Structure 1
Amino acid sequence: MEHSIIHLDDRTDQATKQMLTNVVKRKQKYDNFKNRHLTVMTLTMGMATVFLLYMYLTTIKPYSYSFYEVFSAFFSQPANLYLFIITGGLFGLMNLLREKRDKAEKEYHALRCEIIDKSKDLWKKEDAWKNRHLVYEMMKEKYDINLYHENK
């Protein structure tokens, strides 16, 4: 359990603390996939640029007079195949990470919305209900998790 969530004292019960910890874990998982996707997307774009520049300089420009010569020159150089496979692999990895990022975002958003919907049940006592904004502020400041509104 997160250190700052453990020290919420009597403002929340143990079940609420566990829900808050789970939403923090889901947010971290989402952020991790988001950063990995961005990194691989940048690598894919860079690799595609390098591949296209290499193709232009070594294959297309010297043999532009004939499509057959461009085609033959492309398959006669093994570096072209390797660069093509690496670029395609990075593109596939980018799409895989995008799907995982989207799934992690849906899980995080669903749990965050569940906490918002159940806030009346989670803070039943009058004094706990009045102090829930302190928990919301801590979650917003420390973990960048907005529990005030369901919209992102």
Structure 2
Amino acid sequence: MDSDAAFKSGKRRVFKKVITTFLVVGLVTAGIFGYGVYWLFYDMGRLPEGDFLTEEPSPDGTYTVRAYVANGGATVPYSVRVELVFNKKEGKKKTIYWNDRQESAHLSWKDDDTVIINGHTLDVPGDRFDFRHD
């Protein structure tokens, strides 16, 4: 009887190890896949820099928005990319606007934390506009 119980206990332990291994491998695989999708389709840090168009500092001088036009080549339309520069954080930059089929940027500040870019109102530093997802 004891050998039968020991066999069942050992079998249970092996089963738990196999299930745990599959769960860990599955979670790691899902994490890598999820990051890959983010990197390919959502990461605004991978956008082309483009050619400088214009810039506009915020009324209180905390931020500056800089607009660039990107030429994707013969088969891709021009696109406008706007980055937010944190003036008080040693020039830290963050892309906040990306729109295709545009060659110019009209930048204006509504107040110290709200910028209007080509008709899109963004509350900085949290908001962003990306034509691929909005």
Structure with higher RCO (Cα < 8 A, 6+ apart): 1
- Select the structure that is richer in helix: 1
TM-score, normalised relative to structure 2: 0.34
More strand by share: 2
TM-score, length of structure 1 as denominator length: 0.30
